[in-house]
Structure 1
Amino acid sequence: MDEFQLILSPKAVRDLDRFSDSICKKIATSIKVLKENPFPRGKLIRKIKGSKSDFYRLRVDKYRVFYFIEGNKVVILRFLSKKDAKRFIRD
C-alpha cells in the first residue's frame, strides 16, 4: 500500500506554534502513523460521529488531531487540546 501524504492546513500550523517543543515532538511522532494507515482502529483513531463528511481524530496525550482523507492525502485541520476539541466538534 502506498503511503499517504500529510498536508497541514494553515490553522493547524498556527495551532502548532502555540504548543511547547515537547508537545510538538509528541504530535510529530504520532502523526507519522497516519502516513501508513489513517483509518480508524482502536481508541487512538476514531471517526467523528455526526459529521457530514468523514472526519477523524487522532488522540495524542491530552491533545487531538483532526483530519480528513482525500484520495491519498491526509489533510490535518487542527491540533487542539481536549477541551478545545470538544468545542470544535460542536461547532
Structure 2
Amino acid sequence: MRRTIGLAVASVLLGAGAAVAVPAAAQAAPGSAPSAAPASYSWQYTGEYYSAKSACTARASFYLAASNVKYYRCISESGLWAGQVYAN
C-alpha cells in the first residue's frame, strides 16, 4: 500500500507519463540550470528528507523515471539531505 501511495504522489508531482529509468550516474545533477533544458524547467524539492546522503541518492531512479524530470540531486539542509529534481 505504501508503494501505491508513493507512486500516486509521484505521478501527481512529476506527471503521469513515465520513461525508462536512467541510472543516477548517467544524469549527474549540475549545479545550475543545464543549457540544453527548456527555460520552463527549474529545481524543485521532492518533499523527502533523509538522514544519510546514500538514502537520498537511492531514490534517484524513482524520480528520473518520470518523463518531465531531467536531473536529480541531493543537497544538505540543516543536517538532513533533501532531494531535488530538475523538472518542468
TM-score by length of 2: 0.30
